[in-house]
Every structure is written in C-alpha cells, then in structure tokens.
Amino acid sequence: QKEVEQNSGPLSVPEGAIASLNCTYSDRGSQSFFWYRQYSGKSPELIMSIYSNGDKEDGRFTAQLNKASQYVSLLIRDSQPSDSATYLCAVYSGGYQKVTFGTGTKLQVIP
Amino acid sequence: DVKVTQSSRYLVKRTGEKVFLECVQDMDHENMFWYRQDPGLGLRLIYFSYDVKMKEKGDIPEGYSVSREKKERFSLILESASTNQTSMYLCASSLRGRLNYGYTFGSGTRLTVV
C-alpha cells in the first residue's frame, strides 16, 4: 500500500513568518510530487509540482524534495492570513496516471 | 481559463435513488478521476478513466459505477444511494504523460443522502 503521510496540524504561524509543511512517502520509486492548497469548502488547487531532488521556487513558495529520505516539503515565506488553508501532499509512482494524496496539513496564519 | 465543471454544487437525494454526477473538462485531457472527500479520511479514489470507454476501479468502487462515452465527459453513478455515500465528490482531470503533471479539480458536488 503506497502511503503519503502528513501531520494534520493545525500548524499556526504568525503573519510574516515562514510556514514549513512536511510530507513523507513510502514508495521509493515515486516520480512526481505535488502540493495542493484547499480552502475550506473549496476544491484542491495545484500550487507546486517537483520532479527532481532539490528546491523549486515559485514566488513565496518553495518545494523541496529529498528522494533518499523520501521526504518532500513546502515552505511559504512571508505567510499571509490568505494562506490559511489545508495543504495536501500528493505523489505519483508511475503506472496509471493516478496519484496518492496525504490527508493534509491545516495551516493557520495568525494576523 | 481551463476548467473542470461539475454539474451540481449541492445535491440532496433520497435513500435508494439512482444518482448521476456529471463532470466535463475542456482541456482535452485523457485522464479523468472521481474522488470523494470526507473529514479525517482525505481524498479517496472511486474510479478513474485513462481513455474513452475505459474505466478502472479505484480504492473504494463499491456502490458506484462510471461512464465515459466522450473524452470530455466522465459521469459517476450511485446505483442506489445510501446515507454512507453522503460526501463531497470531486472530479479531476490530467494530461497523460510519462511524468504526471498534476490534476485540475472541479469545484465539487456536496451530496447529502437522506
């Protein structure tokens, strides 16, 4: 059973701080890694994808991948109250084009 | 702007009814998926399709069926609705490729079975 694990939170950070969200996965052959943001009552929205070891930056967001440790993280710099949401980690391990989702980490940014 | 459109935002059905949830995408994506999302359980895959008329069972297919007669449309059918199928249903689509490029989700259908 392929698993993706996240701490459910809530993770509370003050406005302007860096929020660090973490995810581990069990399938060493995983190839593609994603972060989705889901506001309460809304559907998930893809915000970052990463395919190789290292960091990938997009605006205030940085995704980090370490395949040896089977670990992927999302850093949000200068956190804003509008970043308050649940963040889902998702992993693709090949074969049919479906991914495995974690259960999400709820982030609260305190003004 | 690319879109995945789900026909209903909220739906209330009676136990035993046959329920149809429709999903249409305009991105020419090969892959389409149906998930349900419940508090504490996350996203669970019901069925998916990687081509017209093709379907594959996901993790929780019992009580559901699907239809994909056209590339852009993927329907989820609850054969005989039950209260334990009360949930948020999410449709998603993705482009086929060697590397997965991520999903685009519809806005979801919140189904209540009474």
| Mean pLDDT lowest among A17-26, A64-73, A97-106 | A97-106
Q: Residue A95 in contact with residue A108, Cβ under 8 Å?
A: no
| Mean pLDDT lowest among A48-52, B38-42, B105-109 | B38-42
Buried b (16+ CB within 10 A) or exposed e, B9-25: eebebeeeeebebbbbb
pLDDT tens digit sequence for B73-92: 999 999 999 999 999 999 99
pLDDT interval class at B49 (50, 70, 90): very high
CA distance linking residue B57 with residue B78, whole number of Å: 14
pLDDT interval class at A8 (50, 70, 90): confident
Whether the CB of A2 is below 8 Å from some CB of chain B: the reply is: no
CA distance linking residue B52 with residue B26, whole number of Å: 15
User: pLDDT value at position B38?
Assistant: 94
Q: How far is B101 from chain A (nearest CA, A)?
A: 8
The Cβ of residue B52 has, within 10 Å, a number of other Cβ atoms equal to: 13
Mutation for A interface: B43, B56, B59, B107, most A CBs within 10 A: B43
Whether the CB of B113 is below 8 Å from some CB of chain A: the reply is: no
Q: Residue A93 in contact with residue A33, Cβ under 8 Å?
A: no
Instruction: Identify the closest residue of chain B to A87 by CA–CA distance.
Output: B42
B83 three-class SS = helix
The pLDDT of B85-114, averaged and rounded, is: 91
pLDDT interval class at A99 (50, 70, 90): confident
CA distance linking residue A43 with residue B77, whole number of Å: 20
User: pLDDT value at position A98?
Assistant: 73
Under 8 Å CB pairs connecting chains A and B tally to: 57
Q: How far is B8 from chain A (nearest CA, A)?
A: 14
Structure tokens at A25: 């996965």
The pLDDT of B19-45, averaged and rounded, is: 93
Residues of A in contact with B56 (CB under 8 A): 96
Whether the predicted pLDDT of B25 surpasses 90: yes
pLDDT interval class at A1 (50, 70, 90): low
Q: How far is A81 from chain B (nearest CA, A)?
A: 22
